Amino acid sequence: MSGWNRPSRSRLGNRNNTPLERTSSATTTQTVRLGRVQPQAPSNRTIYCNDRESNLPVKFAGNSISTTKYNFLTFLPKGLFEQFRRVANLYFLGISILSTTPISPVHPVTNVVPLSLVLLITLGKEAWEDWKRRLNDMTINNNSVDVLQDQRWETIPWKRLQVGDIVRIKQNTFFPADLLFLASTNADGVCYIETANLDGETNLKIRKALEKTWDYLTPEKASEFKGEVQCEQPNNSLYTFTGNLIVDKQTLPLSPNHLLLRGCSLRNTEYIVAAVVFTGHETKVMMNSMNVPSKRSTLERKLDKLIIGLFITLFCMCLIGAIGSGVFINYKYYYLGLRGTKGEDSSYSSFNPDNRFVVFMLTILTLITLYSTIIPISLYVSIEMIKFIQSTQYINNDLRMYHMESNTPALARTSNLNEELGQVEYIFSDKTGTLTRNLMEFFKCSIGGEVYGTGITEIERGIAQRNGIKLNEEYNSNTDHEKGFNFNDSKLMRGAWRNEPNPDICKEFFRCLAICHTVLPEGDESPDKITYQAASPDESALVIAAKNFGFFFYRRSPTTICVRESHVEKLGDVQDVSYEILNVLEFNSTRKRQSVVCRYPDGRLVLYCKGADNVIYERLSDGQDDLKKVSREHLELFGSSGLRTLCLAYKDLSPDMYESWNEKFIQAKSALRDREKKLDEVAELIETDLTLIGCTAIEDKLQEGVPACIETLARAGIKIWVLTGDKMETAINIAYACNLINNEMKQFIISSETDVIREAENRGDQVEIARVIKDEVKKDLKRCLEEAQQYLRTVSGPKLALVIDGKCLMYALDPTLRVMLLNLSLNCNSVVCCRVSPLQKAQVTSMVRKGAKKITLSIGDGANDVSMIQAAHVGVGISGQEGMQAVMASDFAIAQFRFLTDLLLVHGRWSYIRLCKVITYFFYKNLTFTLTQFWFTFYTGYSGQRFYDDWYQSLYNVIFTALPVIMVGLFDKDVSAALSKKYPELYKEGIRNMFFKWRVVATWAFFSVYQSLVFFYFVTSSSHTSVDPSGKMFGLMDIGTMTYTCVVVTVNLRLLMNCNSITRWHYISTGGSIVLWFIFVFIYCFVESSRSVYQVIYVLMSTLYFYMTLLLVPIVALFGDFVYQGMQRWFSPYDYQIIQELHRDEPEGRSRDELLEIGNNLTPAQARSYAVAQLPREISKHTGFAFDSPGYESFFARQVGVYAPQKAWDVARRASMRRTTKKK
């Protein structure tokens, strides 16, 4: 084991020093305080490759990972801690402890059993999920990898890998840790990797090893490698890495291109050799595996307020009982033994009239345990179960949200926000890849001041249609063409560019397209069979365009690009040219440009640059004013057509200039600190005095169904904002194309492209520029807000739209102007923000979320949308062409923007309505049950005597009334999915929170009081004149059991009355709960011979009193609800009730054509899901339709914005019309 048993080297004091620091004799400074040296975190780490003993003192992290939340020792304490963070669980824990004291009127089992069941179910769910995570961790940790030992490759599990080991990675296998690339079987020390597990991008990326390490490929040679790596400490930055490799006393700089990250896989390479740099939880991918910020739904926060209201109600009930107890106790009730007797049982001493304050306090504690059922302990568990099933079975399996082309279903990544989808009022959307397809096609271009390309975009067609202009299209852009190239102009194709006035500029234009990129070619080196792997669809489209223009890029190595050029010297001539790539100045969000320095075969040095127009224009040389002006006009023309534009430029370099600059570039590339910043600064030195070649225009078409989706969402009362980095003209025209803006709208445009701002920018004083822009933005905001308020005062004013660019938005988001911007924005139906940064997207979202207190949803598909997605109440990621960063940060993932219609109007709305019913029903049934005990307190001298047996009280919530409410949360449906989308106005009820207002809660509370009075007084009063078969009067347990039976039957039947649709699951759960109660009480009253409930149910059921009470009491109790529901449906119907009436005779079903155009291209699992979807469903039996609704006119009038009050005579008229229809 020569590679592992290398003698340890003595490196006292310089283990973590940089090479520059090692050569100097200066000592490091230390912070000294009170004579004690404070430890300093090292800025970099030193790794000895192929030398485990030298790495041992540092104690690097192992390569075993764990994503579990608990372990064997921490599961119980940590799990219980998590559960008791909930107020309701903590409350019941206190009640359970209190019930073990002598002052408790109930047995501890009353509160301990339901609490234990809830904790058992929840902890069982946590344990199951954590066990699955553990199994996954074990599978990953036991994957095998080849490690260098004794000059041969030994296979060991990943978990035994250590920092500094030399490993061999084979083709199509994953990297077990973050590795330093040393050698490859490919020529020139390159390898190809796929980063799909890291960022979702499936295109291959090229990595190149340092030339110094190319030979360490065989185990014999690799065992000789004794390099020393000095690099940064572990961090979560995926795209940065700074370090140096010291080999044979030579220091070589390391960059991100030399690092192979854990989770990526090796492609198109037989095998590679690498050194381990970061392991386990210190790898970059693991340091990025942090949870998405925790979000709680608005409904859940309102539920907390309801629980607080129940606490207040509980306290008031206990206060009333305690005051009554203090007043009631008196010596005249001497026969009750209130003072207790010395030497005897002193259990009554707590009611000593001489200590009324003590009586008062003890009675409060007693009644708290007695009335504890008012807080629904099983509510949270039921809601979690309902949400989980809604997410996994409904949203994830909805074929209407399945995208066949990409084989992508919808995915609910969290179940906490289902109901939030039913209350969204503002949607913030990215444009590229979200509203558009992100499938870029080269469409037009401008070269040397000449425009080329005859196609007509979708945006241009929309503009012509709005203006009533008929277009004569010579070229149909929908004809067959190569993917990525939708260009047609005979002046450039097939070498015709040689006849143009500027053929040399055309040649530079095409070469810039073919050379200035980071695209990788794959497949055969022929134009028909080759495929390109690009970092973005734009880059791929530009290279494909170069190929179609006759400059075919077909091969790439780390130092060369091979281009097959046609028609250069003469028409029909083809030659292969190899360009040496000297430097690549990569694109980033700050630079907004990309440059390549290349050397022609004849020795010519050229810098090619492409980037955003404003960035390129700042770096052009003087003397190009005419070309700049014409090209600017062309850019605006392309932008108004909805095209994405880039400017191309070049610069000839002298050898001396290049060599001088390259030295600075190498120094910046070798820097351990601020390497990216220094590289940007060096790039600025050479990217100057550029010569403009022209500009490209790429079309990104709208996704299918986007205009219809936006129109539907607008009818639903949802306001949509588009936040994009495109130019204003492009953004406005995209907004027109997708029905976000139309000519009937009043548009407020706040732009930095004004004469006043341009004059300030020309003067160049940055302080003055900031002051001028802020003043102009303030004036525009004030003017627009005044106009908006005037329009809103008019009865039939136009809808409003706001368009603002990023530069103005930066100042509008200033605290002094933010309120004005918010007020203006909230008055607009549509808002378009263009040229905005990712940070500004998040700021705008937060402004509306926090400032307007409205429920927001952000949707995007790229890494630049992550901050916006996490800032909104609900984040939706689109699994598109820009990787999976947005999806990984989102709460829900869909494949197409149009699926928002089903996600919000169907699943969101159903979830909201169902959970509102679940919560209010829990409130109702618990309050009803507890109030019967409360009324009984007045007849027991406020002593806290219990009305029900302990087990009755324990199982009420968790057994006898638990299952039916879950069925409602899963299967209740007011209208079908088709009707939900046909009448999107129904969604407004969720925005207005119509089903969880305090008025709704008060209504349920009123009927709880009414029904509890019926239960208590009807049963107790009727029992006075009733006797059992032996002639005895009924006792406490007889009346309590009778009342309990009426409560269980009634609250379950009341739930059926509240259902919009009743399925067999409703019947099974409701009937089953009632039957379960009778089975339990039969067994319990027979087995429990030592308690007062012995034989109670048998005695009761042998009397006529039991059956008459069981029949009449529920009828009387539910009569009030029956009348109320009828009156409400008749005189003040909800919108969905009107739709129910309109379609009451239509069977609910779905046609085969309505589902999806999924054809026969299904996997077996998909085919099974599709077949299940085709099975006949049970037709919903809507209840309550006997009450005809006169509110039709008002509903449809509201749809068009006209107020039409209901007429009293409509009731009689509609009733008579229906009777006439029935007679016919």
Q: Which residues are catalytic?
A: 430
Contacts of 108 (CB under 8 A, 6+ apart): 96, 99, 100
Q: Which amino acid is at 529?
A: K
List residues bridging with 429 in a β-sheet.
722, 859
Picking from 21, 11, 64, 78, the residue whose alpha carbon sits closest to that of residue 44 is: 21
Burial 1141-1173 (b: 16+ CB within 10 A, else e): bbbeeeebeeeeeeebeeeeebeeebeebbeeb
> Phi and psi at residue 228, in whole multiples of 5°?
-125, 125
List, in sequence order, every beta strand (DSSP E) within 600-709.
Answer: 605-611, 643-653, 691-699
Neighbouring C-alpha atoms within 13 Å toward the C-beta of 600? 13
Specify whether the CB–CB gap between 1121 and 1054 falls below 8 A: yes
Among 1143, 425, 298, which residue's Cα sits nearest to residue 716? 425
Question: At residue 835, what are phi and psi to the nearest 5 degrees?
Answer: 55, 40
Cβ(961)–Cβ(924) below 8 Å:
no
Q: Between 298-328 and 909-937, two packed helices, what is the crossing angle to 10 degrees?
A: 0
- Residues ≥6 apart with Cβ < 8 Å to 415: 384, 387, 388, 390, 391, 392
Rounded CA-CA distance 370/104 in Å is 8
Which two structure tokens, joined as six digits, stand for 1188?
């005809």
Q: What angle do CA 615, 757, 623 make, to 5 degrees?
A: 45
Angle between helices 1192-1199 and 1135-1142 (to 10 degrees): 110
DSSP string, 433-494: TTTB----EEEEEEETTEEE-----HHHHHHHHHHTPPP--SS-TTS---TTB----TTTGG
Residue 73's CB: how many other CB atoms inside 10 A? Answer: 8
Alpha-carbon gap, residue 728 to 732, rounded angstroms: 6
Among 936, 942, 914, 956, CA closest to 1059: 914
| Residue 1022 contacts residue 1103 (beta carbons within 8 Å) | no
Write down the H helix ranges in 862-1018. Answer: 866-871, 885-888, 900, 909-937, 950-955, 963-971, 977-982, 988-991, 998-1013
The span from the first CA to the last CA of the chain, in angstroms, equals 99
Q: Enter the tokens of residue 949.
A: 């047996």
Q: Are 416 and 301 in contact (CB under 8 A)?
A: no
Q: How many CB atoms lie within 10 A of CB 499?
A: 9
Compute how many other C-beta atoms are within 10 angstroms of the C-beta atom of residue 1018. 17
Helix (H, G, I), strand (E, B) or coil at 590: coil
d(CA 1197, CA 430): 34
Which pair of structure tokens corresponds to residue 509?
Answer: 């234009």
Among 513, 296, 535, which Cα is nearest to 417's?
A: 296
